[in-house]
């Protein structure tokens, strides 16, 4: 309506892949002014098709946004997007960068220090619950960083997240995501082994899964058996084991889970249901 001023912070999304596209879509549909950027022509075209403006470079996104969500794949990509000619060169003081990628806590802390010199906030905001939650706008967002930056970014994060959980200072959002993933992959391996035995003994696995969800063995992975992909398990386990090595903490169970998950995929998990 004429005369109504949009008080929502202007937003940007860097990385318009499967997750970033949905984040940008939810922002647009909830009335935010949002612009995106991706190196992929296909991802760019897909976003443009639903009315999300895409910029020619990262700097253009930064110059027009108060809160930017970064959803790329690796630590190096995050550093390239934010530092040395990236977002920090174009964002105004008081802006906030939300690192939704799953990366090392130390990378987040280093970027926070660099951003502070320019008056820009950095939050690590990795997400959990997978693609279905991203599609539905019901992600859980773990947040590391200063509370004042979270309050500015909260409306943006709430556009695609139903639970915004402040864990502590910079890097702790990533620690929460790593911890979550360690438990998730361990459950997937345990579920697969147990269900494989049940199937070999003649049980109907879908019926058994429904029954087990009322038992002490219930877990989130089991509740949606056959939907998980295990896509990022190897990367996530590498992060967990590297962090453990940095503090000289043995993780014998997760060392085994790391090896077991290398052969796990959606098709293998679904095979137990037929």
CA–CA dist 273, 198 (Å, integer): 11
Q: What is the pLDDT of residue 1?
A: 42
CA torsion sign for 36, 21, 231, 157 is positive
Q: What are the residue ranges of helices labelled H in 117-146? A: 130-136
Q: How far apart are CA 269 and CA 274, in angstroms?
A: 10
Nearest to 112 by CA among 185, 103, 179: 103
Per-residue pLDDT of the chain (274 residues; tens, 9 = 90+): 444 445 799 999 999 999 999 999 999 999 999 999 999 999 999 999 999 999 999 999 999 999 999 999 999 999 999 998 899 999 999 999 999 999 999 999 999 999 999 999 999 999 999 999 999 999 999 999 999 999 999 999 999 999 999 999 999 999 999 999 999 999 999 999 999 999 999 999 999 999 999 999 999 999 999 988 877 788 888 889 999 999 999 999 999 999 999 989 999 999 999 9
Separation of alpha carbons 176 and 144, rounded Å = 9
First CA to last CA across the chain, in angstroms? 54
Neighbours of 35 (CB within 10 A): 24
Per-position DSSP letters for 8-50, written without gaps between them: SPPEEEE--SHHHHHHHHHHHHTT--EEEE-S-HHHHHHHHHT
What is the reported pLDDT for 138? 98
CA distances for 151 relative to 95, 216, 228, 249, angstroms: 12, 38, 32, 35
């Amino acid at each position: 309506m004429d005369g109504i001023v949009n008080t929502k912070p202007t937003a940007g999304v860097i990385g318009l892949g499967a997750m970033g596209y949905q984040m940008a879509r939810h922002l647009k549909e909830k009335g935010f002014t949002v612009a995106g950027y991706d190196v992929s022509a296909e991802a760019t075209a897909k976003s443009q098709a639903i009315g999300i403006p895409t910029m020619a470079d990262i700097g253009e996104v930064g110059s027009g946004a108060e809160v930017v969500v970064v959803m790329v794949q690796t630590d190096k990509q995050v550093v390239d997007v934010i530092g040395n000619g990236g977002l920090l060169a174009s964002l105004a003081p008081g802006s906030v960068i939300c690192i939704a990628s799953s990366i090392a806590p130390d990378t987040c802390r280093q970027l926070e220090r660099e951003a502070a010199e320019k008056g820009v906030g950095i939050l690590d905001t990795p997400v959990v619950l997978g693609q279905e939650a991203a599609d539905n706008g019901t992600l859980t967002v773990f947040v590391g960083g200063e509370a004042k930056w979270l309050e500015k970014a909260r409306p943006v994060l709430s556009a695609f997240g139903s639970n915004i959980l402040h864990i502590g200072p910079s890097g702790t959002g990533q620690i929460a995501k790593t911890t979550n993933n360690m438990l998730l992959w361990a459950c997937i391996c345990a579920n697969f082994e147990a269900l494989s035995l049940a199937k070999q003994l003649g049980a109907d696995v879908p019926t058994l899964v429904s029954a087990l969800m009322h038992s002490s063995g219930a877990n989130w992975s089991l509740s949606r058996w056959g939907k998980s992909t295990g896509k990022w398990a190897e990367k996530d386990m590498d992060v967990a084991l590297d962090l453990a090595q940095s503090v000289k903490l043995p993780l014998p169970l997760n060392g085994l889970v790391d090896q077991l998950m290398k052969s796990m995929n959606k098709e293998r998990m679904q095979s137990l249901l037929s």
